[in-house]
Chains A and B, each alone.
Chain A
């Protein structure tokens, strides 16, 4: 599924990486625990988290995920968005809660990593 479709499906606002919405996403890793992301991400997933500090983007970069989606309407500050832009990681935000996001994406055929 294209990131652009995920954006529409979850009514996201794009905070960085508008030019990369054509990327393909087939797997998802979702957690507020960064070590959990680091332990389970295999690279190139969509990462869903409610943690909006700088460590979320650092973790995304280190784990090699393709894009970050912040849930529950939580918005990172400018410094975090700038850092994501620098690392070329698209960042989206939605008002939906983690459970609903995962349910919707799962129904559309996306899979988690294990």
Chain B
């Protein structure tokens, strides 16, 4: 049996670049306070930050849910946005549909989704064009960084 220890949901405002990343910073503080393994925290917050930036850059709004159990940490990110027409293509490093504004922020170089996958033990993306995208990532507490 897996015991759920914490579940927290955060609203992400689309196109608000000033606040982009605040949720991931907050998650880092929460996980550090829980004295979890530093490598594990690092992986979780990198996935959270990339996901948060993706919602801010592309979607109208979204929700990030953090779930901590005694075995792992999950991140569920669901947005209302344009969706991804070709997920396989979006997962390719270097592929990007980012605007100049996004690139000026230092993002949109086609590394976000591959980076999230690399830092997750389980990772999946589902999307419907015109509706939005859901990302699920699980990071095991006992995995090596």
A interface residues, Cβ below 8 angstroms from B: 32-36, 38-39, 43, 49, 51, 53-56, 58-59, 61-64
The reply on B74 being an interface residue by CB < 8 A is no
Interface residues of B in 99-113 (CB under 8 A from A): 104-107, 109, 111-112
Q: Is there an interface contact between B109 and A55, defined as CB atoms closer than 8 Å?
A: no
Using Cβ atoms and an 8 Å threshold, which residues of chain B touch A35? 50, 106-107, 109, 111-112, 115
B interface residues, Cβ below 8 angstroms from A: 17-18, 20-21, 24-25, 28, 38, 42, 45-46, 49-50, 53, 104-107, 109, 111-112, 114-115, 118
Using Cβ atoms and an 8 Å threshold, which residues of chain A touch B25? 58, 61-62
Decide if the interface of chain A is mainly helix, strand, loop or mixed: helix
Can you list 25 contacts pairing A with B, beta carbon distance less than 8 Å? A33-B107, A34-B105, A35-B111, A35-B112, A36-B109, A36-B111, A38-B46, A38-B50, A39-B111, A39-B115, A39-B118, A51-B106, A54-B18, A54-B21, A55-B21, A55-B107, A58-B20, A58-B24, A59-B21, A59-B49, A61-B25, A62-B24, A62-B25, A62-B46, A62-B49
CA distance A67 to B104 in the complex (A): 21
The 9 closest A-B pairs by CB, nearest first: A35-B111, A34-B106, A58-B21, A51-B106, A33-B109, A62-B49, A39-B115, A62-B45, A38-B46
Using Cβ atoms and an 8 Å threshold, which residues of chain A touch B42? 43, 63-64
Q: Is there an interface contact between B105 and A38, defined as CB atoms closer than 8 Å?
A: no
Using Cβ atoms and an 8 Å threshold, which residues of chain A touch B24? 58, 62
Most interface-central of A32, A38, A56, A58 (chain B CB within 10 A):
A38
Return the chain A residue nearest B48 by Cβ. Answer: A62
